[in-house]
Structure 1
């Protein structure tokens, strides 16, 4: 539901740019010379394919507009593909059979059948939350039977509960939970029971378990009596029974500008979440999907920051393979009224106006169902990210501009540009890699601060655009005529042996098009312009000269005998190790975590035949939101993201060990460093 102060205070990604371009017409050269921002788009660096469930939204049983044709019409126009019911924390007090929520308000005409009728008119699939807090596995199974056997609704996605880690187990309690045991162990046991009962009725459904987003409370915290964190406990015990995990993300931010930077957290947060799935969820954990069923901005919920954040966060999460992103909420109600970038903001987390007034009647929202700014952003997303599109890497060299791109089955390319600068327009030089735009003036859709709708018209060139202040801009570009049937994309690559310096990558062969396949090319994602790592006539390749402890994301494409190229494969992400044998070994342990900080212990071992005296240990934090607050047993200093730990002590030869410690702070996903050097020598990691 509406984010609690606990969640609002807690957080959780980043793209860059590079290299060369497509020539612009002479008339555009002067404009490009004046560009203050470079954007690179590389179709060789493929990300996720957009699913048919991508664009989602929450519905709530306390919203009397839930089932109206006015609302379903607006949502259909916006391209909404998934609707969540019965609404946040209300799900854990809601009983579907008699349509009651003891302790809460249930609006008329919001029952399950009414919701499903509205979802059908919208053209959206349902995401249904089974009552964990005050319900039973049998109640959930009966709901599945009613929905899919009695009524034939074909409801596929069912989540067990809402934010069940907020049941008091970690101190904060906003989620109803009648279980005497409120631990993640108990929740996991019930997830297994719910999934078994529900799938006994309809084996085709997909069941999801509630996790916390890395970098958000209570991520990292081990509760009293638990063996691990919420995510670790739930995945270890229930991973084999679930089909997806469900997370929420309210990244907060004290100002609109700060809130809009939080999308930088997405890539690292999803990377950590996938790592938890792989580590804890057992065999075939890769089959488990990720849904983001609640998100909203920290400041300016119904003005331009909300619109910019929505477009940026939906794009960023879909790029990372999240199968649905859902805004909180359709209607929510007036909150704290303020002015944001010259526009009145009602502090309303709804996509559409509720038409209400402040308690003293001094300020009223626009009429019921008037679209707020995020609605227009969602409608623009419906044009940008269509089912079947392949999202590809794009990056900007200006921190106030975000760039996203989608390649369409008909060959078109969509480029979405987000100008987060409230005061200044930015002129952009667009550069394409692996794809050439046609010379025609592109179609450009723009949503500006305070506008009543998205405006669409031909504008600029494929290589040069001016972004109004605080705006969303979508370019739809046609490709230059290349001719010939290109090969199909190779299958998703997989990593074999990975060492500190090498990685062996293999992939399923591509299907030839009009000409035979001549070779495969391997690319490393690097901001908006990929770097070629090598090529081969086979379907495997060993990459050399990698850096220890570094994360790499790679793609493969096929090239035919006439030079035609396939689409990019889906990406593979892997991390190199430390050296198998080195003169030193380092072990970093997170010994106590409280959600935005932790106690770190570093054990340093000298493996060499000579003692090491006057040593310096060095490492680099993977993100800019991590730091050392204090340290002991050595001298600690941090410059930027680089940390140096120095001591006059002596490490004895042949296994001499010392231990140092520190307090670390973080305000986003806490990706621990993976490589350490001792007096300049790269160490093994334990």
Structure 2
């Protein structure tokens, strides 16, 4: 969703067309459930629990960065630099503040502090903004004006910021949502370039990067991408050879340091409950961004980061300042961070009142901000400026879960309306945050953990629930079973101490470096990593959800994994063991995919002919490269993402079971000649609710084929 540059007071976001379409945790939680939200100390039978949460402290999802939590700031926000803002943001461990405000970036001229056609509030200049950034202890993300600016103007801003003022501004995006410049039929983003194609954007990104890095080679340049599965992903503009990402990424992969994507949960008809459910799409969409970077950048892919620089529910102006959006914020921040982004930036710090409704017995002001702007809709006014709304407390709860240098680890819940996130702290403690999305019912959760043995010390518990005016520390001191009850519509974080002599802190070995993919074939992968102090051997494990299995062991810092299925995806991390066999904490994860055999007896070409965001038409061409003709054939593949399906097809018979597709030659179809002498071709209409990656491998009569 684009950040509006309509003259605001208050400013709100503009609308775009919606095409989006082992060990049991023996620690204890004995607190008063009515006031505290944790199960009472009295014994309960296993049947009383209605959700199970499993945590694997050895299955790393990544390391939290100092930039993990961020917010957007806008030059039309008169409260942007109020003294209270820095204190509030610091309390929530905010590490990034993005400026000058979404789509305003493409009309903003930093030197004159003007935005022709838009409203600029007093006291919102760059130096004033940097005062708030520094008081917060954060890092700016600055959006260079692409729409009405030049590479020279952007380079001047870098010079002023980092040479003259020595601000050390590290992250610079080139434009905001440039794909919204009208090239695909909808235009909310200002763009003065005569050529509005992705090819021209890529050319300009290269020019901006060259000019800006000539001033300060240390700056990190970000290019704007569409989010896979969200409009206009998959749409090919007139005269283009591919969609936005397919065009931009290969052309800029050697000059950019990160990519910027945005994610909003829905539009005017999306309820808050829908938004929380829709969040399940985000991991697949972010994985597809990484796959696209892998394809474009090859071995340099790990050097290109992903920033989620705008996120919110955008539920049509309702339920934005009420409790559901606070739950969404906590869930969304952690979901995104667990799936490969280094910063998640909420839209917005202050925004403005919109549609007034009542949600969960409270007034919802239809405001996409974290803090009140004090604005009114009719005779209904928000509370005093800078009063936090629930999304702020949702973000603050994640700060209590983990901070920079802590390791996010795998956690999963058996209940659809209970989310779980877990962090292994640098001091060896384990924190687990539970999100109860049920507005009516408390959920009793049994906790199970692998790779962590808790002490008998009473856990620390923090909570944000009905009646809480802030994140509340809950203390009781009694021990109980490994169970916790989360109040309705609430966030609860439990932090447990490790049993003495256990956990990563007991190992003399430090955690190894993140593994890198050195080489990959259709059935093998060679990985290497930086060694760890105190290590005598290394364990390579593959993760499937919260379960891990050992796939490699070595005394060196490299290993070759063998007998991998062609076209398969794997996520691995490395642990170091000391001389006593005690394991360190896990490295950050690596996800990679095997290819298909180059000397296969068949070849398949898969081509998306057209796409419209949530649907597509594809053509598949099959060649028999063996020395024997094939009469009667089947082609099989598996979809790479949930939400992909086949609707109808031609020139063959089609069957889909789960994610598996089988295509059978039509009756009377001629043989496939030997040595590639003939081809078989069929097409189909497909649908995708979310990202739409190409299948990784095809099989002809059971044999894996090469691509192309």
- What TM-score does the superposition give when structure 1 sets the normalisation length? 0.92
In structure 1, the partner of 2:422 is 405
| Secondary structure of the structure 2 residue equivalent to 1:535 | strand
In structure 2, the partner of 1:380 is 397
Matched, 1:103 2:117: yes
Q: Distance in 2 between matches of 1:500 and 1:676?
A: 13
User: Where in structure 1 are there 5+ consecutive unaligned residues?
Assistant: 12-18
Q: Distance in 2 between matches of 1:456 and 1:334?
A: 31
Deviations 1:345-397 (A, max 9, x none): 22211111222222x43x33233222111010111112223011111111222
In structure 1, the partner of 2:167 is 153
Moved more, 639-648 or 84-93: 639-648
Question: 1:683 Cα shift?
Answer: 4.2
In structure 1, the partner of 2:580 is 562
Question: 1:268 Cα shift?
Answer: 2.3
In structure 1, the partner of 2:680 is 658
In structure 2, the partner of 1:541 is 559
Question: 1:529 Cα shift?
Answer: 2.2
Question: 1:556 Cα shift?
Answer: 1.3
Matched, 1:493 2:503: no
- Contact 1:396/1:528 (<8 A) preserved: no
Q: Distance in 2 between matches of 1:282 and 1:537?
A: 28
Question: 1:662 Cα shift?
Answer: 0.9
Q: 2:652 aligns with which of 634, 640, 644?
A: 634
In structure 2, the partner of 1:292 is 308
Q: Distance in 2 between matches of 1:30 and 1:432?
A: 19
Question: 1:175 Cα shift?
Answer: 0.8
Question: 1:233 Cα shift?
Answer: 2.7
Tell me how large the CA RMSD over aligned residues is. Answer: 2.5
Q: Distance in 1 between matches of 2:215 and 2:629?
A: 67
Change (3 A) 1:500 1:143: closer
| Secondary structure of the structure 2 residue equivalent to 1:240 | coil
Moved more, 461-470 or 315-324: 461-470
Deviations 1:120-153 (A, max 9, x none): 2222211111111112222222222222222222
Matched, 1:510 2:529: no
- Contact 2:53/2:413 (<8 A) preserved: yes
Matched, 1:264 2:280: yes
In structure 1, the partner of 2:193 is 179
Q: Distance in 1 between matches of 2:699 and 2:441?
A: 44
Question: 1:559 Cα shift?
Answer: 1.6
| Secondary structure of the structure 2 residue equivalent to 1:555 | strand
Deviations 1:514-553 (A, max 9, x none): xxx4432221111112222243334333434433322110
Change (3 A) 1:539 1:238: closer
Q: Distance in 2 between matches of 1:53 and 1:677?
A: 44
Change (3 A) 1:190 1:678: closer
Change (3 A) 1:188 1:607: closer
Q: Distance in 1 between matches of 2:251 and 2:388?
A: 43
In structure 1, the partner of 2:373 is 354
Q: Distance in 2 between matches of 1:468 and 1:526?
A: 30
In structure 1, the partner of 2:24 is 21
| Secondary structure of the structure 2 residue equivalent to 1:600 | strand
Residue correspondence of structure 1 range 597-636 to structure 2 within 5 A? 597-607=615-625, 611-636=629-654
Change (3 A) 1:582 1:180: closer
- Contact 2:412/2:421 (<8 A) preserved: yes
Deviations 1:612-660 (A, max 9, x none): 4454433332333112222111222334333333332343352453111
Q: Distance in 1 between matches of 2:480 and 2:260?
A: 41
Change (3 A) 1:9 1:533: same
Moved more, 271-280 or 637-646: 637-646
Q: 1:235 aligns with which of 249, 261, 264?
A: 249
Question: 1:341 Cα shift?
Answer: 4.2
Q: Distance in 1 between matches of 2:484 and 2:530?
A: 39
- Contact 2:455/2:500 (<8 A) preserved: yes
In structure 1, the partner of 2:99 is 85
Deviations 1:532-582 (A, max 9, x none): 224333433343443332211011112223221111122111112345555
- Contact 1:505/1:541 (<8 A) preserved: yes
- Contact 1:3/1:250 (<8 A) preserved: no
Question: 1:216 Cα shift?
Answer: 1.8
Q: Distance in 2 between matches of 1:242 and 1:115?
A: 25
- Contact 1:10/1:251 (<8 A) preserved: no
Change (3 A) 1:399 1:676: farther
Q: Distance in 2 between matches of 1:579 and 1:156?
A: 42
In structure 1, the partner of 2:237 is 223
Change (3 A) 1:451 1:625: farther
- Contact 2:532/2:576 (<8 A) preserved: yes
Change (3 A) 1:574 1:163: same
- Contact 2:144/2:154 (<8 A) preserved: yes
Residue correspondence of structure 1 range 36-75 to structure 2 within 5 A? 36-75=50-89
- Contact 1:440/1:461 (<8 A) preserved: no
Question: 1:58 Cα shift?
Answer: 0.7
Change (3 A) 1:28 1:212: farther
Change (3 A) 1:195 1:29: same
Change (3 A) 1:3 1:553: farther
- Contact 2:23/2:452 (<8 A) preserved: no
Residue correspondence of structure 1 range 273-292 to structure 2 within 5 A? 273-281=289-297, 284-292=300-308
Deviations 1:101-130 (A, max 9, x none): 111111111111211112222222111111
Matched, 1:136 2:150: yes
Q: Distance in 2 between matches of 1:496 and 1:193?
A: 31
Question: 1:510 Cα shift?
Answer: 2.4
In structure 2, the partner of 1:198 is 212
Question: 1:185 Cα shift?
Answer: 2.0
Q: Distance in 2 between matches of 1:676 and 1:282?
A: 22
Question: 1:675 Cα shift?
Answer: 3.1
| Secondary structure of the structure 2 residue equivalent to 1:665 | strand
- Contact 1:615/1:650 (<8 A) preserved: no
- Contact 1:523/1:532 (<8 A) preserved: yes
Matched, 1:440 2:452: no
Change (3 A) 1:32 1:443: farther
| Secondary structure of the structure 2 residue equivalent to 1:562 | coil
In structure 2, the partner of 1:15 is none
| Secondary structure of the structure 2 residue equivalent to 1:411 | coil
Q: Distance in 2 between matches of 1:570 and 1:32?
A: 35
In structure 2, the partner of 1:16 is none
Change (3 A) 1:130 1:534: closer
In structure 1, the partner of 2:614 is 596
Question: 1:605 Cα shift?
Answer: 3.0
Q: Count how many residue pairs are aligned between Structure 1 and Structure 2.
A: 673
In structure 2, the partner of 1:482 is 501
Question: 1:88 Cα shift?
Answer: 0.6
- Contact 2:466/2:489 (<8 A) preserved: yes
